[in-house]
Amino acid sequence: FLKPIDKINALLELYPKGMAGFRRYCELMDTEPDVKDADDAIEAPRLKGNIEFRNVTFGYENHAHVLKEINLQIRAGETVALVGPSGAGKSTLCSLIPRFYEIDDGEVSIDGIDIRRMTQHSLRNQIGIVQQDVFLFNGTIRENIAYGRLDATEEQIWEAARQAHLEAMLNALPDGLDTFIGERGLKLSGGQRQRLSIARIFLKNPAILILDEATSALDTETESMIQQALEQLAHNRTTLIIAHRLATIRHADRIVVVTEEGIAEQGRHEDLIAAGGTYSRLNAAQLGVASTV
C-alpha cells in the first residue's frame, strides 16, 4: 500500500535527474509510469500558481472514486488548508497537482493551462513538497540542499540554509556545509532533517508548495523554528497544507473541509466556527470539548 504522498516524495526527489531518474524509480517499483507526457506537451512557463480543479473525478486503479466532481479554485499566493477525516482524499487531491495520477474526468489547470498539456518535468519543477518523511542521501549537507539545483551558488545555498534556520547548526559544525551526513541522514535529528528539506525548497523557489503537516513529536523549540520557516516558505507562494492539527492552520487564508462526499464547506476559521458545521465539530473534537452542534 503506497500512500500518494509517498509517491509524490519519491518522484519529486528523483525528477531533478530528469526522465532517467523517473524511469529508474519505475524500474525500482516495477511499474510502468501511469502518467505520460503528451506528444505535443509544452514546457510550462514560469507559473504564478492559480490552481483550478474543474469537475475533477478520480479513483485509484481498480478502486472506487475517491474524488467526485471536485471544483476548487486557489488563487496565486493563497494559503489553503485542507482538513477533514482520515481517508477523505486530502493527500489524493494534492497529488493530482503534480499530476502523479491521471484523472478520470474533469480538468486540473494552473494559470489557465491544463496540466496535461505541460511536460511533467516542467510542471513538477515548480512544485515543492514538504513532508514528515524527508528523503536525504548519503552525501554532504551542501549536496543535500542543492539537490536538483546543481547550478546553485555558495551564496544561494547559504541563504536557503539561513531561511530554514540551519545557520546556527552549520556554524557549530567544523566542516559546515561540507559535513557528511550518514546513510539517509541518520546522524541528523528529525527537526534538522526537516529543516534541511525546507532549505532545499527555498533554493528551488517553486510557485506552488504542498505541506503535508508533520505530526511527529518534535520538541517545542524545534517545532516553532520549523513552523516559522514554513510560514516564510509559504509567503507569496500558492500553498496547500494537508492539516492534521487544526491549531496550526487557524490563520490560513482559507480552510477547505474535505469529506468522503466532497468539499463540505470552506472559509476562514472564524466563519466556519460560526457556521457550526463539520469544521466546528472537528475543531471541538480536537480541543477535547463537547461540540455545541
Residues that bind ligand ATP (CB under 6 A): 2-4, 60, 63, 66, 84, 86-92
Taking Cα atoms as reference points, which of 217, 213, 272 lies closest to residue 91? 213
**What's the closest the beta carbon of residue 197 comes to ligand ATP, in angstroms?**
19
- At its nearest, how many Å lie between ligand ATP and the CB of residue 60? 3
The distance of closest approach from Cβ of residue 203 to ligand ATP in the complex, given in angstroms and rounded to an integer, is: 27
> Which amino acid makes up residue 8?
I
| Contact of 77 with 253, CB cutoff 8 Å | no
CB of 200 to ligand ATP, least distance (A): 23
How many CA atoms, within 13 angstroms, populate the side-chain half-sphere of residue 49?
24
Q: Which is nearer to ligand ATP, 60 or 137 (CB)?
A: 60
> In the bound complex, what is the minimum distance in angstroms from residue 181's beta carbon to ligand ATP?
28
Q: Which residues of 114-128 are buried (b: 16+ CB within 10 A; e: fewer)?
A: ebbebebbbbbbbbb
Q: Considering the complex, state which of residue 141 and residue 257 has its C-beta at the smaller distance from ligand ATP.
A: 257
C-alpha cell at 279: 469544521
Q: How far is the CB of 70 from ligand ATP (least distance, A)?
A: 12
Residue 194 Cβ, how far from ligand ATP at the closest point, in Å?
18
